[in-house]
Amino acid sequence: MSIEKKPEILSLSEDELAALLIADGHKKFRAQQVFQWLHLKQVFDVRKMTNLKGDFQDYLTEKFAFPDFRILNEVKSPSDQTAKYLFDFAGKQVESVWLPYENRQSICISVQSGCSLDCSFCATGKIAFKGNLTAAQILSQVYGMQQIYDRRITNVVFMGMGEPFYNYDNAIRAADLIAHQHGMNISRRRITLSTSGVLPGIKRFIEEKQPYRLALSLHAVFSDKRREIMDIEEKFSFEEVLEYLREHRGEMQQGQLMFEYIMIDGINIYPDDARELARWAKLLRAKVNLIPMNTEFNGMHRPSEEKIYDFWRQLVERDVVAVNRKSPAKDIQGACGMLAGRNHA
């Protein structure tokens, strides 16, 4: 006998929720009420949904699975207010990072537990891959962190553990739900999906005219170098990806495309790298986020401040919009490429 799984209520759009409620004889307006409790107020206990009658609360509990997560660990940075959270979803663990800035509140969330790829500079790629998260589990990281803080989240980056385009449907569904006007209503231009270059996902993203920002984790602009540090290069070469983006750049919005570029000493910050990176960035009108490697990892090193500045200068002198991202959350192992689900006390 198979046990039927209840639908996860947090994964449903308002329309899907309404359709299910109506099919069971309930009024359509109930869907908006429930949706707002979940996505706007982040209340997951039906008994606390005070404008719903008791029998309707019973029906919801019977019919749907409600968010079920635990935060196993919290590590706060003593130096920069950032914090890292270890979420557990029935044995699938992921990390998420709280990143306060002066004029915005960002968070970085995960889409998979571990990652099926293995970029050589990234700690996530070294741990066991436990699979995709559901949209509800992706959202639970957002809402779980929002419940902790008074400060409203303004920016969400899908740049934690995992490759969003290997979990495309759930990642886009989660983005749609946090942007929903009856939910957190986060501006779509402040939601960023980051991909290592999964071409079928990029094609779909553009064909569907998704409104979110797209960050391409480039990290090298010569195929031999890129193959050395990113195994995705074997499957989808960056040249194929960039050529596709060049052909379709007109279908994207101004400012929608970014390159992420991790700076690794002795590997990808030579003058040739700067020249090629600048050429592609200008061709594709892409802003470049430079991310100095955060620490020593897997035999790779962070460049000196002088080298970091010099590489940045070479891009800017070629009229590229390049930002040298500081490395927030560095001291709590929460910066780019450092999420590995370790418990840091």
Candidates 8, 14, 95, 163; catalytic one: 95
Helix orientation angle between 305-316 and 271-283, rounded to the nearest 10 degrees: 40
Is residue 163 within the footprint of ligand SF4 (CB under 6 A)? yes
Stretch that binds ligand SF4, among 40-48, 52-60, 68-76, 121-129 (CB under 6 A): 121-129
Q: Is 4 exposed, middle or buried (0-12, 13-18, 19+ CB in 10 A)?
A: exposed
H or E element at residue 297: none
Is residue 155 within the footprint of ligand SF4 (CB under 6 A)? no
Residues 97-116 that bind ligand SF4 (CB under 6 A): 115
Candidates 108, 115, 122, 336; catalytic one: 336
List the one residue from 118, 243, 272, 296 that touches ligand SF4 (CB under 6 A): 118
List the one residue from 75, 337, 338, 341 that touches ligand SF4 (CB under 6 A): 337
Task: Examine the residue annotation and report whether 95 is marked as an active-site residue of this protein.
Answer: yes
Is residue 119 within the footprint of ligand SF4 (CB under 6 A)? yes
Query: Is the CB of residue 108 less than 8 Å from the CB of residue 124?
Result: no
Closest CB to ligand SF4 among residues 162, 201: 162
Q: Classify each residue of 207-234 as buried b or exposed e, where b means 16 or more C-beta atoms within 10 Å of its C-beta.
A: eeebebbbbbbbbbbeeebbeebbbbbe
Is residue 335 within the footprint of ligand SF4 (CB under 6 A)? no
One-letter amino acid for residue 345 of the chain: A
Task: Examine the residue annotation and report whether 119 is marked as an active-site residue of this protein.
Answer: no
Q: Give the number of residues in contact with ligand SF4, rule: CB under 6 A.
A: 12
> Pattern 195-234, binding to ligand SF4, x per CB under 6 A?
-x--------------------------------------
Q: Is 175 exposed, middle or buried (0-12, 13-18, 19+ CB in 10 A)?
A: buried
Question: Which ranges in the chain belong to alpha helices (H)?
Answer: 14-23, 29-35, 54-63, 135-148, 168-179, 199-207, 223-229, 232-235, 238-248, 271-283, 305-316
* Paired tokens of 15: 């329309």
List the one residue from 161, 216, 245, 338 that touches ligand SF4 (CB under 6 A): 161
Q: Site residues (CB under 6 A) for ligand SF4?
A: 115, 117-119, 122, 124-125, 161-163, 196, 337
Give catalytic residue positions.
95, 336
